[in-house]
Amino acid sequence: MPRPCLAVAFFTIAFLTAPASAADSTPAAVDSDRLARIDAVVQAALDRKELPGAVILIVHRNEVVFRKAYGRRALKPDPVEMTPDTIFDLASLTKPVATATSLMILVEQAKLSLSDRVAKHWPAFGEKGKDKITVEQLLLHTSGLMADNDVADYKDGKDKALERIAALTPQSEPGAKFVYSDVGYIVLGELVEHIAGVPLDDFATKNIFDPLGMRDTTYRPKESPKDRAAPTELRDEKWIQGEVHDPRAYALGGVAGHAGLFSTADDLAIFARMLLQGGVHNRKRILAPLTVRLMTSPREVPGGLRALGWDVQTAFSSNRGELFPRGEGFGHTGFTGTSIWIDPGSDTAVIFLSNRVHPDGKGNVTKLRGQIATLAAAALLDVPTKPGRPLPTSPPQPPNPSPH
C-alpha cells in the first residue's frame, strides 16, 4: 500500500493557516522584467510550429501576476487569434480538477473511504481478480489496470463499455506498479455516479464549479461558449471544437473520469487559488483544509511520488520546470497541450493552456511547459530559500512516460 511521505511544517501550515477571504492587500513581489522573458520563449515555440497558440496565467500570493494570450486559437479552417478567455479541452486535467476533487468531497461526506475496495460500491467491477483494488490505488495509478483498453471496446455505447472494463484482467497486483491509467480514472468517474447517484458532470458542477464561479468550466460546452473553444483535430472530416478530443471520452458521451472537461485559464486560476487557500475561495468552501492536505501530500509509488489525482515527482513532472522544488509541489498535464503546476511553498500556480494537437496532432509543448514554469519561478522574489522536504536521491523514472 502506498504511504504518505513525511511533510515538513511549512507545507502543513501553508494550507491550514491560509486566509479564507480575498487577496492580501500587499502586492505580490515578482520581477516583471523576468516574467517578460516568457514572450520570447513562447514566440520561439510558435516559430518552430510546436503549437498554434497558448494562454499563460500565473498566480502568486493569491494575485494574478501574469495573464497573456499568444498566437492563434485556430489555424484551420480559418485563422483566429488566441484570446485570454479561450476555452480549452483540458484532456487529463479532468482527472484532478473534476474526478479526484469530487471523490474527496465524497470522502468528506463520509460516503467513501480511500481504503474502500471499488467492488464494494460497484460489485461487477470485482471480476477477474480486481476485487482487491482500492479507491486510493486508482487515484495513484497503482491499481494494476492497463493504461488504455482498445477503443473498439467503446463502440457500443457507455453501458457496454463499462461492462468490458469490469471484465478486464489486471496486468499486475494492486500496489505493485505505477502505470498511468486512463482506464482507472474512467472507473473513478463511474464510482462517483454509483455513490452520489448523479453523473460525474452534474456532481462536479454542483459541488465545485458553480460554487466557485467557474462559469466556463464544464463538460460538453453549450453552443455560445463553443465559439470560444480552441479546435483540436479533424474527426469525420469536421473540426473538433467544443467536443472532447479523447476518443474514449467521446464514445462515452463526452463525460468521463479521465477526460472531457473544458475550461479557461481564469477558471483554473480560481481552482488553484482555492487549493492554495486551504479549500476556500471568495468565502466559498469546497474542501476542508485537512482534505486539501490529504489530497496533495506526496505518496510513494513505485518509481516516484504521486498525490491523490496529482503528479508530484515522476517522469510526468516536466511541467514543474527547473526551479520549483522537487517533491514539494503538485500538478498535472493534458494530452491536448494543457498543464498546471502548484507550488504551496511559494504560494504560486502556473497555468499553461494550448491546443498543441491542432491542426494535425504533431505539436509538442513538453519543453515549453517546463520553460514557462522555470521563468515563473525565477521571477518570484518573496519565497523561502531554505529547503523543505528532503529531495529524492535521484529523479524517479516510471515505466510508462507519455505525452500527457
Check residues 215 and 22 and name the one with the higher pLDDT. 215
What's the confidence (pLDDT) of residue 27? 59
- How far is 245 from 228, CA to CA, in rounded Å? 16
Q: What is this structure's pTM?
A: 0.90
DSSP secondary structure code for residue 117 in this structure: B
Q: Is the pLDDT of residue 391 over 50?
A: no
DSSP 52-105: SEEEEEEEETTEEEEEEEEEEEE-SSS-EE--TT-BEE-GGGHIIIIIIHHHHH
- How far is 187 from 162, CA to CA, in rounded Å? 8
Instruction: Write the pLDDT tens digit of every residue in 259-308.
Output: 999 999 999 999 999 999 999 999 999 999 999 999 999 999 998 999 99
In the CATH scheme, what is the code of domain 9-378?
3.40.710.10
What's the confidence (pLDDT) of residue 387? 61
What's the confidence (pLDDT) of residue 386? 67
What's the confidence (pLDDT) of residue 109? 98
Cβ neighbours, 10 Å, residue 349: 26
Average model confidence (pLDDT) across the chain: 91
Check residues 385 and 156 and name the one with the higher pLDDT. 156
